[in-house]
């Protein structure tokens, strides 16, 4: 049953029961996998090649647009591809780097984390909202703000008052996902930076350099993606805006869908804390209950999504580079099975998409219960 009603933003505690039985066993087995093969859990050659591919393709597409050598339709096509590639940079470079999983060297991770600015997003804020809050309090309302999907428009709580338009949320929600990166560029980062709390995390003190970075990189992004194209290209200002919107809708849809299919599908839970502010399960078991894999054996999904199609492995081992997830996934799945724990998985992207769609449709009705 889903419960996503807002809870007080207090510090939650997870039960230590069974943690030593499941997570320690899984961790020991994963550690042994790397030790026995003398492998680093960080990026290997294939990972570096993939990072270079996405970054070079991003720069190339941007350069082709600014070259002013193509017609309007070709420019639009490049803009769509650039949005798709920007999402790929986020999944495959920024995400691992911000988690500290790309390299054992901190300066390498910090440098590659700056690739997040290519999406118009702020890596410092993402580290707070995603690494700290989302990965700790996954799918817990009032704490994990990543599950707050357009309050009042998208209903994910059976106890929330139903609004007539939510009967169609299984349709219009996908259009809202397309606005994900636009919101990031123009609204979300500013709101998150200045709100008092992010989930239960105190958010009132930021380094002075991060104040400067927030505004400096935002202005740089606006200049490179709005001002410069208007000045340089033989296009009217509104045509540039159409291309900008097209780029971000493509990027936003990719970013939004990957997150939704990993957490908001049939089978995942949205635990409600007890009156004492505790979660009945251990943290690792909580991750298994609130997270799902999708298309785990698809080479295309694994390549583009940066391993986020194996979200279970990512949530349990965020410090391990995603290039290793296909190898450690059988270890995690087998260990979960031994301890009688869930391992939620949609075999294909299509089945995950249908599951998400059905859940939205069910909860969009007044009697929707979210029961699985």
pLDDT tens digits along 8-20: 345 678 876 555 6
Q: Residue 284 pLDDT more than 50? A: yes
- Using CA atoms, how far apart are residues 279 and 267, in angstroms rounded to an integer? 18
Q: Residue 156 pLDDT more than 90? A: no
- pTM of this structure: 0.90
Q: Which residue ranges make up each domain of the chain? A: 13-153+165-363
pLDDT tens digits along 5-60: 333 345 678 876 555 689 999 999 999 999 999 999 999 999 999 999 999 999 99
- DSSP, collapsed to helix, strand or coil, labels residue 162 as coil
Region 306-310 average pLDDT: 94
Token pair for residue 163?
């609004």
The fraction of the chain above a pLDDT of 90, given in percent, is 75
- DSSP, collapsed to helix, strand or coil, labels residue 124 as helix
- Crossing angle of helices 237-263 and 72-89, rounded to 10°: 30
- What is the full DSSP assignment across 199-227? TTEE-S---HHHHHHHHHHHHHHHIIIII
């Amino acid at each position: 049953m889903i419960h996503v009603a807002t809870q007080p933003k207090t510090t939650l505690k997870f039960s230590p029961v069974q943690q030593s039985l499941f997570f320690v066993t899984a961790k020991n087995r994963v550690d042994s996998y790397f030790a026995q093969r003398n492998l680093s859990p960080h990026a290997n050659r294939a990972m570096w090649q993939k990072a270079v591919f996405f970054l070079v393709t991003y720069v190339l597409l941007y350069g082709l647009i600014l070259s002013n050598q193509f017609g309007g339709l070709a420019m639009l096509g490049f803009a769509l591809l650039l949005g798709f590639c920007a999402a790929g940079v986020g999944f495959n470079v920024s995400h691992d780097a911000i988690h500290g999983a790309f390299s054992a060297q901190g300066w390498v991770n910090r440098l590659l984390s700056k690739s997040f600015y290519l999406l118009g997003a702020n890596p410092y804020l993402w580290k707070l909202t995603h690494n700290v809050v989302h990965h700790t309090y996954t799918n817990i309302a009032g704490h994990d703000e990543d599950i707050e999907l357009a309050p009042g428009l998208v209903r994910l709580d059976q106890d929330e008052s139903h609004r007539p338009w939510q009967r169609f949320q299984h349709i219009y929600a996908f259009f809202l996902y397309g606005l994900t990166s636009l919101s990031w560029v123009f609204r979300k980062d500013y709101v998150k930076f200045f709100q008092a709390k992010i989930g239960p995390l105190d958010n009132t003190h930021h380094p002075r350099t991060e104040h400067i970075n927030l505004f400096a990189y935002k202005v740089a992004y606006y200049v490179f993606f709005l001002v410069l194209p208007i000045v340089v290209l033989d296009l009217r200002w509104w045509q540039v805006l159409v291309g900008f919107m097209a780029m971000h809708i493509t990027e936003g849809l990719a970013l939004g869908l990957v997150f939704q299919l990993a957490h908001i599908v049939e089978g995942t839970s949205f635990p409600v804390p007890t009156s004492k502010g505790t979660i009945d399960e251990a943290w690792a078991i909580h991750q298994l209950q609130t997270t799902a894999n999708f298309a785990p054996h698809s080479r295309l999904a694994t390549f583009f999504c940066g391993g986020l199609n194996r979200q279970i492995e990512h949530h349990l081992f965020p410090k391990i580079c995603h290039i290793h997830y296909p190898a450690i996934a059988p270890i995690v799945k087998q260990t979960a099975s031994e301890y009688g724990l869930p391992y939620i998985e949609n075999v294909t992207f299509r089945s995950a998409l249908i599951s998400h769609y059905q859940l939205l449709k069910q909860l969009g009705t007044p009697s929707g219960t979210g029961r699985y």
